[in-house]
Structure 1
Amino acid sequence: MKAKMIHRCIHVLDLEKSLAFYKRAFGLDVVREITRAEGSRKIVYIGNDTTDFELELVWESGRTEAYDNGSNDTHLAFAVDDVDAARLLHDEMDCVCHELGRDGIYFIEDPDGCCLEIVPSNLWD
């Protein structure tokens, strides 16, 4: 049997803020969305043309407590073709939270505290 990874779910408190963050930080756009009829829950899938893998952002109406979306040990990684440009952008966004100090690898945090690793694509390819 073979399995294909298709998405990772991240629970968010402010859907619009998260959509804007992922659009700016990684160029991810809305692929599709599902909303409960009463509007109490919205699921938005985001991605781009570099991969079929998507992020699933889940928003629950009335939620005010922060979600536990993982730590540095449980993170999502993005390979970027220009790590210097990515770092400048992420510094400007003030979301860099940890730097490994080697090979240009660093971590950023999304608006809900989800840890995201940035890896130069030449290290991954």
Structure 2
Amino acid sequence: MSFDGEQYPGVQAPTSDSQGFRLNHTMLRVKDPEKALAFYSRIFGMRVLRRLDFEEMQFSLYFLARLDANEQPPEDAAERTAWTFDQRGILELTHNWGTEQQDDFAYHDGNAEPQGFGHICFSVPDLDAAVAWFDANDVEFVKRPDQGKMKDVAFVKDADGYWIEIVEAARLKQLGD
């Protein structure tokens, strides 16, 4: 018998109508794309798969991913766009033009009142090495792995103040029932 998901009140069996659906990306609005792209490419090793500009509405979308060594996106821009929208685990950074020039401009991170959006998460192969890497690169911590009640989980902030959870999967086996 194969695993069919944990069951709780409200969970319903999927129908064939949703066959093939997959979560493709999560979008974060960023004030300054240069700072955001520097952070995600340098600190997390993500690559920009595709940039789409919408001049009439004055915003740009940057689609980033951390690809495995054997993954090779298509060179052709149209094919790469389609390929990008068929992936899993994509981060979309949305830049509304001009925000980078507004000194007092900031997006709500979702963790201050009123709470809403909370964080994105990266799984890393070695949490201690990741923490050392973040320290060496002056990444701001919200919580270190040895702080608080939930051990072996870290939270850092990106260039816009969004929280990023950092986990090492093998350390989390004891969570839950």
TM beyond 0.5: yes
Q: Which residue is 2:49 aligned to? A: 31
Check the 8 A contact 2:60/2:94 in 1, yes or no. Answer: yes
Q: Give the paired residue count.
A: 125
Identity %: 30
Separation in 2 of the partners of 1:31 and 1:52?
13
Separation in 2 of the partners of 1:124 and 1:79?
11
Match of 2:166 among 106, 118, 122: 118
Amino acid at match of 2:165: E
Tell me the alpha carbon deviations over residues 34-72 of structure 1, each in whole angstroms, 9 at most, x when there is no partner: 012358211000002257311000011122320113228
Q: CA deviation at 1:33?
A: 1.0
Check the 8 A contact 1:12/1:57 in 2, yes or no. Answer: yes
Worse overlay, 67-76 or 9-18: 67-76
In the TM superposition, what are the counterparts of 1:1-125 in structure 2 within 5 Å?
Answer: 1-2=18-19, 3-37=21-55, 40-50=58-68, 52-63=88-99, 64=102, 65-71=105-111, 74-94=118-138, 95-101=140-146, 103-123=151-171
> Structure 1, unaligned stretches of length 5 or more?
none
Check the 8 A contact 2:31/2:106 in 1, yes or no. Answer: yes
Check the 8 A contact 2:154/2:166 in 1, yes or no. Answer: yes
TM-score of the superposed pair, with normalisation by structure 1:
0.86
Check the 8 A contact 2:22/2:88 in 1, yes or no. Answer: no
TM-score of the superposed pair, with normalisation by structure 2:
0.63
Amino acid at match of 2:111: S
Amino acid at match of 1:11: R
Higher strand share: 1
Separation in 2 of the partners of 1:114 and 1:24?
17
SS at match of 2:43: helix
Separation in 1 of the partners of 2:134 and 2:110?
20
Q: CA deviation at 1:5?
A: 1.2
TM-align CA RMSD: 2.3
> Structure 2, unaligned stretches of length 5 or more?
1-17, 69-86
Separation in 1 of the partners of 2:137 and 2:57?
31
